Amino acid sequence: MASGRLAVVATAVLIGTIGATGCSASRGDSGATTAVADGSAPGDEVAVEQHQGRAGAAGIGDPDFPNDGNGGYDVGHYRLKIEYDPERKHLSGVTTVEAKATQNLSRFDLDLSGFTVGKVTVNGAAARFSRSGDELVVTPSRTIPDRSAFTVEVTYAGQPKPVRNSPNLGTYGFIPTSDGAFVTSEPNGARTWFPGNDHPADKARYDFEITVPEGVTALANGEQVGSPVTQGGKTTYTWRESHPMASYLATVTMGRFELREGKTASGIKNFAAVDPRYSGSLNELYNQSGRITEYWSKVFGPYPFSSTGGVIDDFPAGYALENQTKPMYGGFNPGDDVIAHELAHQWFGDSLSIRRWKDLWLNEGFATYAEWLWSEHKGNASAERIFRNRYAVDSGAAIWKYAPGRAKPDDLFNDSVYTRGAMTLHALRQRIGDPAFFKLLKTWNAEHRYGYVTTPEFVALAERISGKQLDGLFDAWLFTAKKPTTW
Ligand code: TRP
Ligand code: ZN
């Protein structure tokens, strides 16, 4: 799904490298052809491009994550057929990507980490492919014309290898567990289980067909389609997420689960699942998730998806992830503050997605502020009181040295992005007053539902709604590496 601005950036980058060594040489990729031969005169490029197209960029255009996502196309839909055997830790998959070209495309990449790729077809015809790092480079038998729809099918298999020991995230991606897998992929772990455009700037709809040994339950985003089908000792679960979703929010978590399904007070579907080790937490997870979804629907606007709920698995991640429709809690019974955080992400992060990772405070600052709002709503500490507490920590504290609006790629989930991000919102609320602040939260959601957002767009909307000039406030709170003194 389109991320107009980034597509333009990616195109500009490519034009700059045409005829030079470009992406293909730096990949060390021998199998693929370059769009324009070295040494061609600049004037030839347009004519050559019309004949041959040019290669899609290896990244979608996020300067902090240059190889994440890809250029040259826009995905509308993924069909993920996945068979997983927990005993052998073996995954075999067929991914069908429906996309639209955003340039004449001689070649393009998908992000995929590990696995052996058996076969790639484009529009049904065998395509050449090669591997280079996390890029699967696909050369279709003929150039795909700009703006045309095309279908890619990738057959792959192997032992999934999650991303391990990442600085502030530990292990993420497809994580094998004793009874299945715990699948939480933020920021770029979707590539550890399917080939795709692994960046939130290209959201798509998803169909899942997951086959596991009989007795294992497979959970994915959205809703189950039909009943699971068991044959020859294997069960296939079919799920569909019919709203646009970022790749990092997709999940195919598998294992033994106890389930509770029903509806929230206003009739939103509610689905909770817990590993048997957390049997005693199922009802509380279900009830709190329902109650909190109801409250956020009043504060932020209508719930954006087809169901709410949550999953507690026994993998001791110690963290939670806001997987679309199914937040996942890794090895702990979440308190209502954590549930409030993950469900707030359904609005901030899931329905409204960031186009580039440096805007992560738009997810984490908002979800953290939601915890403060939940505390205030329950009659516990007010947001003001929590803000004062956080503000009181001395000016040498780490969060004052880290400007949360400039999130760093190697320290993306720094505490400042969460805490100082939330403080930014509280400073804003104090400055513009409750009526404008809460109107802003609702309008922000309504205007960008299922879409993409950036920090400058938020600042502009805050100014429009409040009628105040706010660049000083945002500069001090988001972009300056020292403790703000006014707001
Ligand atoms: N977004 C998560 C949260 O704050 C944190 C997180 C980042 C995460 N990357 C992750 C959790 C990977 C699980 C896996 O709620
Ligand atoms: Zn979060």
Domain ranges of the chain: 33-249, 257-344, 353-478
**pLDDT value, residue 51:** 60
Our answer on whether the CB atom of 413 is closer than 6 Å to any ligand 1 atom is: yes
The CATH architecture that domain 33-249 belongs to is Sandwich (2.60)
**Rounded to the nearest whole angstrom, what is the distance from the C-alpha of residue 413 to the centroid of ligand 1?**
8
Pairing of strands 234-245, 229-231: antiparallel
Residue nearest to atom 12 of ligand 1 (CA): 186
C-alpha–C-alpha distance, residues 345 and 370, integer Å: 9
Residue 184 CA, closest ligand 1 atom number: 14
Please give the mean pLDDT across all residues of the chain: 91
Our answer on whether the CB atom of 319 is closer than 6 Å to any ligand 1 atom is: yes
386 touches 427 (CB < 8 A) = no
| DSSP letter for each residue of 34-60 | PSS-TT--GGGHHHHHHHH-EEPPSS-
Residue nearest to atom 10 of ligand 1 (CA): 186
Residue with tokens 């057959």: 155
Residue 342 CA, closest ligand 1 atom number: 15
54 touches 108 (CB < 8 A) = no
Helices 471-478 and 455-466, packing angle to 10 deg = 140
Residue nearest to atom 1 of ligand 1 (CA): 321
Tens of pLDDT, residue by residue over 66-115, are 999 999 999 999 999 999 999 999 999 999 999 999 999 999 999 999 99
Our answer on whether the CB atom of 150 is closer than 6 Å to any ligand 1 atom is: no
Q: Which ligand is nearest to the CA of 327?
A: 1
Residue 418 CA, closest ligand 1 atom number: 4
Q: Which ligand is nearest to the CA of 200?
A: 1
Q: Which ligand is nearest to the CA of 365?
A: 2
| Bridge partner list, 92 | 83, 157
What backbone phi and psi angles, to 5 degrees, belong to 185? -115, 10
**Rounded to the nearest whole angstrom, what is the distance from the C-alpha of residue 253 to the centroid of ligand 1?**
15
Q: Which two tokens stand for residue 378?
A: 């329950």
**Rounded to the nearest whole angstrom, what is the distance from the C-alpha of residue 169 to the centroid of ligand 1?**
7
C-alpha–C-alpha distance, residues 112 and 78, integer Å: 14
C-alpha–C-alpha distance, residues 300 and 294, integer Å: 10
**Rounded to the nearest whole angstrom, what is the distance from the C-alpha of residue 349 to the centroid of ligand 2?**
9
| Average pLDDT per 10 consecutive residues for the chain, totaling 487 residues | 42 31 33 35 49 91 97 98 98 98 98 98 98 98 97 98 90 96 98 98 98 98 98 98 98 98 98 98 98 98 98 95 98 98 99 98 98 98 98 93 94 97 98 98 98 98 98 98 91
Q: What is the CATH number of domain 353-478?
A: 1.10.390.10
**pLDDT value, residue 407:** 85
- What class is the 257-344 domain? alpha beta
Q: Which two tokens stand for residue 333?
A: 């019974």
**pLDDT value, residue 487:** 78
Q: Determine the 3-state secondary structure of 171 from DSSP.
A: strand
